Amino acid sequence: MMLAQVGSEVVQDLIGSFRLDLALKLGAAVLLGGAIGMERQIAGKPAGLRTNILICLGSALLMDLSMTLHGPDGRMGDPARLAAQVVTGIGFLGAGTIMQSKGTITGLTSAATIWAVAAIGLTIGAGFYIEGLGAGIMVLLVLELLGSFEHRLVRARRTVPATLRASVKADFAPLEQLLRDSGIKVVERETYDHANDRVFELRLRGPAPQFEMARGLLLERPDVLDMTLH
């Protein structure tokens, strides 16, 4: 009985001296962040393997630190305060992955992913391993399984009304050819001439992602003043 008690005390001393619990937290953060980062890396996203590992690892470390810090009077501080700063700070990092070009916004999924990875790191840092593991698996399922479903949904053909403003007496033939080259068919067209422009009211049909791409190409032409997709 005494031997078992001494052995238990030795194990507790080792855990306290080498922070084996912290090593376990950081190891779990590396594994979960790495799994999510690998999926992002394979998908060719800007926030890949190393980024997600470092975010999850750093969040776990800061959460553990917030739970062990003591004030000058020896009292434990508020762990939620440091965790809240992580949540706020990760927002700036996520904003850096969001890019905008000619009205098209990309990188929202990457920004949401690193925000979720930071939350997983905080969860593991607080010692909730099962919850962190479950959340990590759910994030992977969303990225992997719903990604292909979302891709098929986006690729579905749609009919979209649009208003195209061009220069006075602009020829619609080259504009229609550009739309066709982008995989979009002009279903209906109405032309209205004004003193300062020529307006084409259109109904377009084609794959959803092609609309913004075609719009960007049209706006590069000097005879196109504006185009609005309704």
Q: Which domains does the chain have, with CATH numbers?
A: 18-154 (no CATH), 157-229 (3.30.70.60)
Burial profile 92-104: b = 16 or more Cβ within 10 angstroms, e = fewer: eebeebeeeeeee
Instruction: Provide the 10 A C-beta neighbour count for residue 160.
Output: 15
H helices present in the chain, as ranges: 2-18, 20-42, 49-68, 79-95, 108-125, 129-154, 172-181, 208-219
What is residue 120's predicted lDDT score, i.e. its pLDDT? 95
pTM above the 0.85 mark?
no
What is residue 184's predicted lDDT score, i.e. its pLDDT? 93
What is residue 208's predicted lDDT score, i.e. its pLDDT? 79
Per-residue pLDDT of the chain (230 residues; tens, 9 = 90+): 555 665 566 556 655 556 788 889 999 999 999 999 998 888 888 788 999 999 999 999 999 888 887 666 666 667 778 788 888 888 888 887 777 554 556 778 888 999 999 999 999 999 999 999 999 999 999 988 887 777 676 667 788 999 999 999 999 999 999 999 988 999 999 999 999 999 999 999 988 778 888 999 999 999 999 999 98
Rounded Cα distance, 56 and 143, in Å: 17
Contact 115, 36 (CB under 8 A): no
Rounded Cα distance, 63 and 182, in Å: 49
What is residue 157's predicted lDDT score, i.e. its pLDDT? 77
Cβ-Cβ contacts under 8 Å for 211 (sequence gap 6 or more): 158, 160, 162, 184, 204, 229
**CA 214 from centroid of its chain's CA atoms:** 25
- Position 219: which residue type? L
